[in-house]
Amino acid sequence: MHDHHDHEHHHHHHGDAPAVDPATLDDTQAICPVTGDVVVKAEAEALGHSRQHDGQTYYFCCATCVQLFDKNPEKYTHQTHSTDTLTLTSKENLADNVWAFRFEADTPISWTPGQFIRIELPHDNPDDEGTKRWFTISSMPHDGYIQITTRVTDTTFKQALAALPIGSTINLVEQPDGDFVWQESEKPLVFIAGGIGITPFYSMLKARGHSGQPVSATLIYNGRTDELPFKVEFEEASRRHPEFKVHYVIGEQLTTEKLTELVPNISSSQVYISGAESMVEALGKQLEESGLANDNLHQDFFPHYSEANY
């Protein structure tokens, strides 16, 4: 994350192999202490994905894992993983191939709107993306359930999730984390969502409205088509909260020119970008080049998505 999550985010560039036996690795490889994935040391070092802790070097598979480790190294250097269970209570098709899945946790879970979790869904013959995945929680803490909202693509994980019967369980392997959350600022807030990257913003904005706080933000919602999840809710929010503005950009790639046209003061704003990793990287870089300070840029990467399927 420069706040990089890799989420579904939330999150990772690859799937998970089953737990790896360290004895099978050669000297060029290591195991990411956060996900258990095999990492090539030289690649991790080149990307800045290595850390020293207590005289030992740790290598990570992605920027999300580095951020989680930096926040709490002890958690990942002394592995004690207890797993909670989530039970599927309902599923709903929101728009296009976007589905919402609602779960109840077997033990109470608290989170800040915008954060993500990591779940495991064991299934037969998983493809390269594996059995574990990061997802933003798109429900609010006061809702009383955990909702994940995702595109159901043809990966084995997504197909297994879509086919999961009501009452079935999945494993929660990472508790809610991440700092892609609403931060009070003197500067205007600009939220830029590419497709399914809308989920953290939906959660943040809905929670603000629920608690009676002003929803002072501009949302730029970019989609391949105008079948956009949560569009009705955003329309309603903009009527209820005159301080909340929403712009839809459909069927075209976002550029700094387009963003500046919609938000002329974008370079002096706090800018949050969420969506396919390639889009988030490119826009963040362009905005910094046009004068946005790195401290005012917050990014949430959804791996496994591209310009073609976001």
Start-end of CATH 3.40.50.80 domains in the chain? 189-302
Q: Please give the average per-residue pLDDT across 14-41, as a whole number.
A: 74
Q: Please give the average per-residue pLDDT across 9-14, as a whole number.
A: 38
- Give yes or no for residue 291 having a pLDDT over 70: yes
- Which helix (H) or strand (E) element contains residue 288? helix 277-289
Best CATH choice for the domain 189-302 from the list 2.60.120.10, 3.40.50.2300, 3.40.50.80, 3.30.470.20: 3.40.50.80
- Give yes or no for residue 79 having a pLDDT over 70: no
What percent of the chain stands above pLDDT 90?
A: 64
Q: Please give the average per-residue pLDDT across 79-90, as a whole number.
A: 80
Q: Whole-structure pTM over 0.85, yes or no?
A: no
Please write the tens of the pLDDT for every residue from 94-132. Answer: 988 999 999 999 888 999 999 999 999 999 999 988 899
| Homologous superfamily, domain 84-177 | Translation factors (2.40.30.10)
SS3 51: strand
- Is the separation of the CB atoms in 300 and 10 below 8 Å? yes
Please write the tens of the pLDDT for every residue from 143-201. Answer: 989 999 999 999 999 999 999 999 999 999 889 999 999 998 999 999 999 999 999 99
pLDDT at position 261:
96
Q: Please give the average per-residue pLDDT across 239-266, as a whole number.
A: 95
- Is the separation of the CB atoms in 182 and 208 below 8 Å? yes
- Give yes or no for residue 53 having a pLDDT over 80: yes
- pLDDT band at residue 264, thresholds of 50, 70 and 90? very high
- Cα angle: 77, vertex 80, 81; to 5 degrees: 115
Start-end of CATH 2.40.30.10 domains in the chain? 84-177
What percent of the chain stands above pLDDT 70?
A: 89
In b/e form, how buried is each residue of 249-272, taking b as 16+ CB within 10 angstroms? beeeebebebbeebbeebbebbbb
pLDDT at position 81:
52
Please write the tens of the pLDDT for every residue from 193-228. Answer: 999 999 999 999 999 988 888 899 999 999 999 889
- pLDDT band at residue 306, thresholds of 50, 70 and 90? low
